[in-house]
């Protein structure tokens, strides 16, 4: 099957020629798998994406969910597609066999899920959230909670959400006020309002398992007093039977720019509309220990952040493939060197400026996919590397890369969608082509799961300084290892290695200068520029890695494919990496312009 969702050839290159995913099958966890089973999973995901997710992508956008008599109504194709997906068992692709999973490497399941995100990101959001929810409970829930809530999620009978945000507390979770009152039977009753909850209400599943951050009265203020609770929409008996409605109610749906097929909700907990055991209050079950909620939620958020980067990549990727197909068939204008109006017009792909827009997209989306899959591979290393030191190393590197894997694709694959619209000309601005929807859908990604600004604070404020700077040092050392290999490879790779080596040194110098200022306000005022500069250097590294593989592969029947990889790497180093020069100059200051700006001067 060949679709305009993701390129199978590129996935083969990344998974097999670069990341050597089949090698993972030498490890006990993945011993049941082989390259053939990986290919089967990719085939299956692509088929489900093409046949069941893509066909209603536009309908989910134009006929968004509505509330009707207190119930959410949406187009039936969403439920039908999700039932097909549940039947594939792919939701639990990476989970343990003991809970019904396939124990597939993360790097492969991330690639497979990418097809669904590219085909229809709003329908894919329901299993995406459910998976994150289930993985969190597998890590921190009790065995009984896993039986009661995770198993039905794995079977596709229950869906999950994550309820962090409140109307007054989005980026600042320290300020949440939802409270959880302990009950004599060990459960809690929750009272409060949660805003922006994706998948917060619908009739796609038998039940919805909300994971809710709330405060137990008397706990410490700020993030140290936040606990995590399971709050099902419908109460579940110990034997798994569904009981009464819990006291969680839908106040309304938010009407969004994109991602419209995913319900986005304002939910009230404990309003007294439903009264379990005759009393107001949403019944909730504490996960793990009290006051550990944010740390536990980070388990889900880190996974979700890489998943957001993957979703942004998928949207950028499909937009690129669609604009490429368009550019090959749209005839317009003639070459500069031959303007004879009596000869037919040429396809727009013949114009260098259109090729620039396509090359930019190619370098963003294939660079982002490489980064996202590299992170998936690190997750597999973290879980299964035979040497504990390698596991610890993978964990640290992944922690360091997470804000970049979330933010870089969210920024640059959105830019790719913008270029995909531009390649379509006026047609791109209409709703007759998919690319405008991809852009609107993708516009969410720099906002949710921690905004771009919050990721920047995370990278410079926490990750670059954690463990005395060990995470940053590891990242730079890992990039330098690629630089050394490229030096030895000689030729163009060595030339690009010189550029990358200089950029890596500039990251180290900028970090020292920023924190050396002794003024955290000044340092963190530059966090956004730092995130963007480091992100570009990291993706340049991804491109040098790909160039080395392409150079080693030579050509043969796939000569054009490898030439395309080399040209995109060249493009990234010539057009993109140099953008970081002025950014590092600012960081070296460190620049004070934003700090010195006064509110009254606007």
Ligand X SMILES: Cc1cc2nc3c(=O)[nH]c(=O)nc-3n(C[C@H](O)[C@H](O)[C@H](O)COP(=O)(O)OP(=O)(O)OC[C@H]3O[C@@H](n4cnc5c(N)ncnc54)[C@H](O)[C@@H]3O)c2cc1C
Q: Which residues are catalytic?
A: 449
Q: Running DSSP on this structure, what letter comes out for residue 225? A: G
Q: Which helix (H) or strand (E) holds 360?
A: helix 352-384
Q: Which is nearer to ligand X, 109 or 130 (CB)?
A: 130
Query: For 177-203, b where at least 16 C-beta lie within 10 A, e where not — what string?
Result: ebbbeeeeeebbbbbbbbbbbbbbbbe
Q: Which is nearer to ligand X, 195 or 544 (CB)?
A: 195
Q: Is 461 in the site for ligand X (CB under 6 A)?
A: no
Residue 173 beta carbon to ligand X: minimum distance, rounded to whole angstroms:
8
Q: Is 164 in the site for ligand X (CB under 6 A)?
A: yes
Q: Which is nearer to ligand X, 62 or 171 (CB)?
A: 171
Secondary structure (H, E, C), 47-114: HHHHHHHHHHHHHHHHCCCEEECCEEECCHHHHHHHHHHHHHCHHHCCCCHHHCCCCCCHHHHHHHHH
Say if residues 322 and 434 touch (Cβ distance below 8 Å): yes
Q: Which is nearer to ligand X, 173 or 397 (CB)?
A: 173
Q: Is 259 in the site for ligand X (CB under 6 A)?
A: yes
CA distance 413 to 313: 6
Binding mask 435-454 for ligand X (x = CB under 6 A): ---------x--xxxxx-xx
Please state the separation of Cα 196 from the chain's center in Å. 18
Q: Which is nearer to ligand X, 115 or 259 (CB)?
A: 259
Q: Is 594 in the site for ligand X (CB under 6 A)?
A: no
Residue 444 beta carbon to ligand X: minimum distance, rounded to whole angstroms:
5
CA distance 471 to 536: 18
Q: How many residues bind ligand X (CB under 6 A)?
A: 22
Task: Give the residue among 583, 581, 472 at the shortest CA–CA distance from 532.
Answer: 583
Selected from 126, 149, 191, 196, the binder of ligand X by CB under 6 A is 196
Q: Is 165 in the site for ligand X (CB under 6 A)?
A: yes
Residue 447 beta carbon to ligand X: minimum distance, rounded to whole angstroms:
5
Q: Is 198 in the site for ligand X (CB under 6 A)?
A: yes
Q: Is 522 in the site for ligand X (CB under 6 A)?
A: no
CA distance 94 to 103: 5
Residue 299 beta carbon to ligand X: minimum distance, rounded to whole angstroms:
15
Residue 228 beta carbon to ligand X: minimum distance, rounded to whole angstroms:
12
Residue 129 beta carbon to ligand X: minimum distance, rounded to whole angstroms:
7
Say if residues 85 and 132 touch (Cβ distance below 8 Å): no
Residue sitting closest to ligand X (CB): 170
Say if residues 277 and 179 touch (Cβ distance below 8 Å): no
CA distance 153 to 135: 10
Selected from 134, 162, 423, 539, the binder of ligand X by CB under 6 A is 162
Q: Is 121 in the site for ligand X (CB under 6 A)?
A: no
CA distance 193 to 266: 7
DSSP string computed for 415-456: HHHHHHHHHTGGGGGSTTSTHHHHHHHHTTTTTSSS-HHHHH
Q: Which is nearer to ligand X, 140 or 260 (CB)?
A: 260
Residue 264 beta carbon to ligand X: minimum distance, rounded to whole angstroms:
5
Please give the structure tokens belonging to residue 502: 């200089």
Residue 250 beta carbon to ligand X: minimum distance, rounded to whole angstroms:
14
Say if residues 130 and 91 touch (Cβ distance below 8 Å): yes
Please state the separation of Cα 373 from the chain's center in Å. 11
Q: Is 171 in the site for ligand X (CB under 6 A)?
A: yes
In 200-247, DSSP assigns E strands to 207-215, 226-232, 234-236, 242-245
Q: Could you tell me the maximum CA-CA distance found in the chain, to the nearest angstrom?
A: 88
Selected from 127, 152, 170, 232, the binder of ligand X by CB under 6 A is 170
Selected from 88, 94, 263, 264, the binder of ligand X by CB under 6 A is 264
Residue 207 beta carbon to ligand X: minimum distance, rounded to whole angstroms:
17
Stretch that binds ligand X, among 138-146, 183-191, 193-201, 542-550 (CB under 6 A): 193-201
Question: How many Cβ atoms are within 10 Å of 21's Cβ, its own excluded?
Answer: 24
Binding mask 397-436 for ligand X (x = CB under 6 A): ----------------------------------------
Q: Is 163 in the site for ligand X (CB under 6 A)?
A: yes
Q: Which is nearer to ligand X, 169 or 466 (CB)?
A: 169
CA distance 75 to 116: 18
Q: Is 130 in the site for ligand X (CB under 6 A)?
A: no
Selected from 33, 210, 256, 438, the binder of ligand X by CB under 6 A is 256
Q: Is 101 in the site for ligand X (CB under 6 A)?
A: no
Please state the separation of Cα 254 from the chain's center in Å. 22
Binding mask 325-364 for ligand X (x = CB under 6 A): ----------------------------------------
- Interface residues toward ligand X, by CB under 6 A: 161-165, 170-171, 196-198, 256, 259, 264, 444, 447-451, 453-454, 457
């Amino acid at each position: 099957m060949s679709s305009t969702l993701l390129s199978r050839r590129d996935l083969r290159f990344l998974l097999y020629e670069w990341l050597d995913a089949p090698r993972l099958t030498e490890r006990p966890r993945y011993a049941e798998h082989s390259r053939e089973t990986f290919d089967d999973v990719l085939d299956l995901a692509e088929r489900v994406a093409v046949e069941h997710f893509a066909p209603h992508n536009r309908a989910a956008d134009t006929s968004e969910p509505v509330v009707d008599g207190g119930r959410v109504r949406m187009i039936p194709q969403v439920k039908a597609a999700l039932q097909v997906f549940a039947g594939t068992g792919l939701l639990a692709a990476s989970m343990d066999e003991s809970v019904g999973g396939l124990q597939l490497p993360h790097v492969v399941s991330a690639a497979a899920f990418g097809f669904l995100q590219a085909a229809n990101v709003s329908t894919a959001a329901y299993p995406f959230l459910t998976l994150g929810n289930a993985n969190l409970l597998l890590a921190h829930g009790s065995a009984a909670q896993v039986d009661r809530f995770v198993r039905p999620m794995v079977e596709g009978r229950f869906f999950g959400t994550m309820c962090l945000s409140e109307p007054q507390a989005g980026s600042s979770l320290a300020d949440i006020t939802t409270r959880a009152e302990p009950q004599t039977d060990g459960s809690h009753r929750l009272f409060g309002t949660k805003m922006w909850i994706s998948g917060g209400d619908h009739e796609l599943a038998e039940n919805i398992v909300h994971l809710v951050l709330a405060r137990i009265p008397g706990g410490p203020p700020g993030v140290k007093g936040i606990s995590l609770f399971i709050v099902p929409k419908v109460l579940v008996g110990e034997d798994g039977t569904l009981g009464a409605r819990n006291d969680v109610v839908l106040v309304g749906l938010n009407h969004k720019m994109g991602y419209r097929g995913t319900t986005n909700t304002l939910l009230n907990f404990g309003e007294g509309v439903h009264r379990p055991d005759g009393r107001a209050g949403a019944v909730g079950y504490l996960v793990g220990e009290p006051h550990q909620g944010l740390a536990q939620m980070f388990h889900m958020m880190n996974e979700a952040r890489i998943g957001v980067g993957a979703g942004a990549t998928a949207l950028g990727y499909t937009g690129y493939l669609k604009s490429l197909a368009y550019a090959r068939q749209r005839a317009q204008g003639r070459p500069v060197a031959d303007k004879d109006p009596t000869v037919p017009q040429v396809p727009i792909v013949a114009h260098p400026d259109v090729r620039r827009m396509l090359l930019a997209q190619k370098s963003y989306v294939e660079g982002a996919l490489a980064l996202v899959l590299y992170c998936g591979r690190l997750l597999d290393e973290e879980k299964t590397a035979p040497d504990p030191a390698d596991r610890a190393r993978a964990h640290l590197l992944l922690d360091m890369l997470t804000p970049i894997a979330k933010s870089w694709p969210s920024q640059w694959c959105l830019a790719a969608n913008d270029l995909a619209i531009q390649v379509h000309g006026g047609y791109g601005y209409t709703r007759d082509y998919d690319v405008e929807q991809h852009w609107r859908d993708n516009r969410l990604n720099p906002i949710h799961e921690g905004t771009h600004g919050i990721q920047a604070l995370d990278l410079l404020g926490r990750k670059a300084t954690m463990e005395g700077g060990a995470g940053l040092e590891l990242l730079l050392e890992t990039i330098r290892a690629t630089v050394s290999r490229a030096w030895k490879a000689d030729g163009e790779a060595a030339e690009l290695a010189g550029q990358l080596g200089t950029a890596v040194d500039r990251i180290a110098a900028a970090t020292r200068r920023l924190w050396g200022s002794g003024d955290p306000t000044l340092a963190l005022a530059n966090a956004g520029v730092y995130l963007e500069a480091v992100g570009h250097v990291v993706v340049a590294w991804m491109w040098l890695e790909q160039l080395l593989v392409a150079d080693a592969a030579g050509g043969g029947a796939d000569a054009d494919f490898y030439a395309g990889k080399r040209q995109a790497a060249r493009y990234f180093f010539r057009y993109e990496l140099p953008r970081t020069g002025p950014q590092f100059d600012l960081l070296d200051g460190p620049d004070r312009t934003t700090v010195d700006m006064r509110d009254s001067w606007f």
